[in-house]
Structure 1
Amino acid sequence: MVESGRRVLIAEDEALIRLDLKEMLEEEGYRVVGEAADGAQAVVLAADLRPDLVILDVQMPVLDGLAAAEQIAADRIAPVVILTAFSQRDLVERARLAGTMAYLVKPFQKHDLVPAIEMAVSR
């Protein structure tokens, strides 16, 4: 367990995945300070809550995760970790250009999550 107390915002449109992610994070000592079901809501919450890290799913309604990541990175709100079921090279490149600090492919395990978060926050 990390016991970092880092404040994390989660944006994932699938409620069950969001719940699983929240539980994993809390088990590892992170504090989930906000949850969003779409990218636009994530951008607003990130600006309001100023978390230490934002975790975004790529495919979400209203505003996708990459567009949300761009806005969050441009405003220097917090580092972003992208979650996706896809690992195509062009998507990874788009995520990099959007300013994301780490990229996790679903399904992922708790032991994948912590290093990605800590690397993103340390950048």
Structure 2
Amino acid sequence: MKIDRLRILAVEDEAMIAFELQDMLEDLGHEVLGPVANVDAALRLLGQSDPDAAIVDANLGGRSALPIVEALRAAGIPFALASGYASAELRQFGEVRPFIKKPYGPWDLERALKAIQGRNPSPRPT
């Protein structure tokens, strides 16, 4: 099942991962806003654009992405949180679904975006 084209705010502080995230999202047919690497830049871009969804790294250069998550929730914009941390370390964000465990690949992103759109994700290919 193909997912709709989305305008996705990409928030990732590690340059190589940010470029990979952008490439994967574009390969899936989406428009990428950013990527941006810190809380201030993300909030500024969020205020200047109208994303359909967001992929947000939980930790941006040692700073929590919680202000971004709160702004997305207030604006009613669905998002997926990405992190290499264990779920217990992410309690500050509250219930976050979908969650993308780092390292991730295109299938993980597509699955998260399907969940954001309220579609049943397909099982992981073997």
Instruction: Output the TM-score relative to the length of structure 1.
Output: 0.83
CA RMSD of aligned residues (A): 2.2
In the TM superposition, residue 121 of structure 1 has moved relative to its aligned partner by 3.2
State the distance in 2 between where 1:51 and 1:11 align: 12
- Aligned pairs for 1:1-123 (under 5 A) are 2=2, 4-61=4-61, 64-76=64-76, 78-91=77-90, 93-97=91-95, 100-122=96-118
**SS where residue 118 of structure 1 aligns?**
helix
For the 8 Å contact 1:82–1:95, the answer to whether it is kept is no
Q: Which amino acid counterpart does residue 99 of structure 2 have in structure 1? A: Y
Shift of 1:31: 1.1
Query: Which 4+ residue blocks in structure 1 deviate beyond 6 angstroms?
Result: none
Structure 1 residues 30 and 40, CA, compared in 2 at 3 Å: closer, same or farther? Answer: same
Q: 1:46 to 1:62 in 2, by over 3 A?
A: farther
Q: Look up the match of 2:124.
A: none
The answer on whether the counterparts of 1:12 and 1:37 sit within 8 Å (CA) in structure 2 is yes
Structure 2, unmatched stretches of 5+, are 120-126
Q: 1:3 Cα deviation (Å)?
A: 6.1
Q: CA deviation at 1:65?
A: 1.5
Segment of structure 1 superposing worse, 43-52 or 16-25: 43-52
Larger Rg: 2
For normalisation by structure 2, the TM-score amounts to 0.81
CA contact (8 A) 2:25 2:31 kept: yes
- The structure whose residues are more often helix, as a share, is 1
Q: Which has the higher mean CA deviation after the structures are superposed, 17-26 or 45-54? A: 45-54
Please say which of residues 58-67 and 3-12 is displaced more in the overlay: 58-67
How many positions carry a matched residue from both structures?
119
Matches of 2:72 and 2:62 in 1, distance apart? 16
Percent of aligned pairs with the same amino acid:
28
- SS for the counterpart of 2:59 is coil
